[in-house]
Structure 1
Amino acid sequence: MIKNSITNLICCLFFLSTASIFAQTEIAEKRVTDLTNLEISKGISLHIISPEPIQFVDLSTNNLTGDLPAENIARIKITDILESDSAATKKNIDLNNLGVITIVCQSFMAQYKINYLDFERKAVTNIQIQPEDMQPLEYPKLAFSSTELQKFSLDILRKKLVGKPIREVINLKLTMQINNVYVVNDYIFLDMTFLNSTNLGYDIDAIKFSVEDKKIYKATNNQSITLEPIYQLYRQKEFKKNYRNIYVFKKFTYPNSKVMKIRLLEEQLSGRAIEMKVKYSDILNADTF
């Protein structure tokens, strides 16, 4: 009897705690009547601009068509089915409800109800997705969006460089520096500067990151693991004298027998290259901000 009571109590506590979690993470449901209304006219494209890259767009009816001309812009138009109000009436199309647009981004979703506007001169050609229209897709947040990674990177860039860089390599009158390493949750931010002390501009072919063995006894035994940044602040392809950038990686580890290698490669025919080795201790001593 006592055993059953304890079991029931544990089950009760489990369901209460589970209910509490769902109560915190639940996204309030929205009905069509709750959605923000957008108006669109024949022959006019409506551009919906998102602060984040758009993952996909859903158009609920055949009255609407669209595409993604840029990673953060959805372009929506009325299909040819609506040649005139009378044609719409014959086809039983409700001009006050042409459909619902759902825009899914990295950390939120936005939905709009589309109405028909008969006055082309009053048609709006572009809108920005507003915070009140954003429905978060995850809670608590498990990953940073590109917008958040950009904000962190800009915060790092605004920091004044103090003291010597963590790592520095000089070759062919080129300098590669790691100014600092930062960690935010499971993200590693590398603050790097490249300097060119020649009068010949540098055309960047690639900046490559990898984890490799410290000592190579045989060429066939060398294991190289490529590391791809999930985000970088700038995508500059050339620089004259100096170039500073922030590279972001998801958390990674490697043993003391390996090092992280960073290579700056120039486009042919000049082909100037510079390479740096980074110890794991440099990553472990990363700052937070």
Structure 2
Amino acid sequence: MKSILYTLLLFAITVSAQTATKDKIISELPEIDITEGINLHIISPEPIQYVDLSTEQLTGDLPTTNIARIKITDDQESEEKEKSIKPIAYLDRDKIGIITVVGQSFIAQYKAVYRNSESLNTVTNIHIQPEAMQPIEFDKMMFSNLELRKFAMDIIKKKSENNPIRQEKDFNLSFQLNNVYVISDYIFLDMTFKNNSNLSYDIEALKFSIEDKKIHKATNNQSIEMMPLFQLNPQKHFKKNFRNIYVFKKFTYPNSKVMMIRLIEEQLSGRTIEMKVNYSDILKADTF
């Protein structure tokens, strides 16, 4: 009996070792070159949540959500932090420190290696590759922007514009809700805007809100503005047709209220068109 239990335990440990994420040690980290006076841009496929630089010899910032900008600390900056710091003379291929980048679903680490400024092969930007990513376990109900983009692209491939759930027309504009999709705790609105005039349309805002169905007095109207967590295309201008996917965290509202969607043109006397979406339309959402 003990022999059987020992065998089962050994098997479980072996399986666990094969499926677990492998620990990283410094010697196994990929190297990236960095040179004095030249910024290194690390480009992430999803928004960066956190960056760690293991040494004061490196400094950096986040100019945008998907890019980490890192450089070797200037001698003057080092002296301001601590007067006793003396200028460092780096040799080619010196190891400067560890750069850690954390996205929404992964962590990537690199060894920063000094390259002489006379080198013609100095790297100025790198894209984080899949082989450099280690997955981070989050709540299974949460998706990264990269995953939301993939789902939205899958929806775009569907031809669902001919039989919209809702449609409004005014000012030679057509504004339609093609379909509603749901996956996990996320709601995807597939929408198309069509401009039948010869004047191009500049979008000032596309506003989503939950409002009362019947408004007896304007002062009694309770409007709750909603912001999409993600949109596939941030386009602000279209001439004829524009289709986009807007993603929201799961929401509910009573039958006494409706979801209002307002498309507002970027002009003093701009064309504004609005649509009411009943909760029943959300409840009938498709899965994919």
Matched letter for residue 224 of structure 1: S
Taking every aligned residue pair, what percent have the same amino acid on both sides? Answer: 63
1:114 to 112, 115, 126: 112
Could you state the TM-score of these two structures normalised by the residue count of structure 1? 0.82
- Note closer, same or farther for the CA distance 1:139–1:43 as it changes in structure 2 (3 Å cut): same
Q: Deviations over 1:4-50 (max 9, x none)?
A: xxxxxxxxxxxxxxxxxx99997543232232222322333322221
Moved more, 250-259 or 106-115: 106-115
Shift of 1:141: 3.3
Rounded Cα–Cα distance in structure 2 between residues aligned with 1:60 and 1:156: 42
Name the counterpart of 1:246: 245
1:50 to 44, 48, 68: 44
Rounded Cα–Cα distance in structure 2 between residues aligned with 1:220 and 1:162: 37
Q: Deviations over 1:75-115 (max 9, x none)?
A: 22222349xxx9636x9x99733111111111111111122
- Note closer, same or farther for the CA distance 1:170–1:101 as it changes in structure 2 (3 Å cut): same
Rounded Cα–Cα distance in structure 2 between residues aligned with 1:204 and 1:149: 23
1:39 matched to 2:33? The reply is: yes
Rounded Cα–Cα distance in structure 2 between residues aligned with 1:189 and 1:145: 15
Q: Structure 1: which 5+ residue stretches go unaligned?
A: 1-21
1:202 matched to 2:175? The reply is: no
- Note closer, same or farther for the CA distance 1:24–1:217 as it changes in structure 2 (3 Å cut): farther
Equivalences for residues 1-289 of structure 1 within 5 A: 28-81=22-75, 88=88, 96-118=94-116, 120-139=119-138, 141-161=140-160, 163-289=162-288
Rounded Cα–Cα distance in structure 1 between residues aligned with 2:114 and 2:92: 9
Rounded Cα–Cα distance in structure 2 between residues aligned with 1:272 and 1:162: 22
Shift of 1:162: 6.0
Rounded Cα–Cα distance in structure 2 between residues aligned with 1:87 and 1:213: 66
Shift of 1:122: 3.2
- Retained in 2: the 8 A contact 1:214–1:259? yes
Could you state the TM-score of these two structures normalised by the residue count of structure 2? 0.82
Matched residue of 2:120: which SS?
helix
Rounded Cα–Cα distance in structure 1 between residues aligned with 2:18 and 2:184: 21
- Retained in 1: the 8 A contact 2:211–2:257? yes
Shift of 1:139: 4.5
Rounded Cα–Cα distance in structure 1 between residues aligned with 2:196 and 2:46: 38
Matched letter for residue 175 of structure 2: M
Name the counterpart of 2:83: none
Name the counterpart of 1:9: none
Matched residue of 1:147: which SS?
helix
Rounded Cα–Cα distance in structure 1 between residues aligned with 2:249 and 2:181: 12
Q: Structure 2: which 5+ residue stretches go unaligned?
A: 1-15, 77-85
- Retained in 1: the 8 A contact 2:212–2:223? yes
- Runs of 4+ in structure 1 displaced over 3 angstroms? 22-29, 86-89, 93-96, 139-142
Matched letter for residue 244 of structure 2: N
- Retained in 1: the 8 A contact 2:92–2:115? no
Shift of 1:287: 0.7
Give aligned pairs, total.
Answer: 264
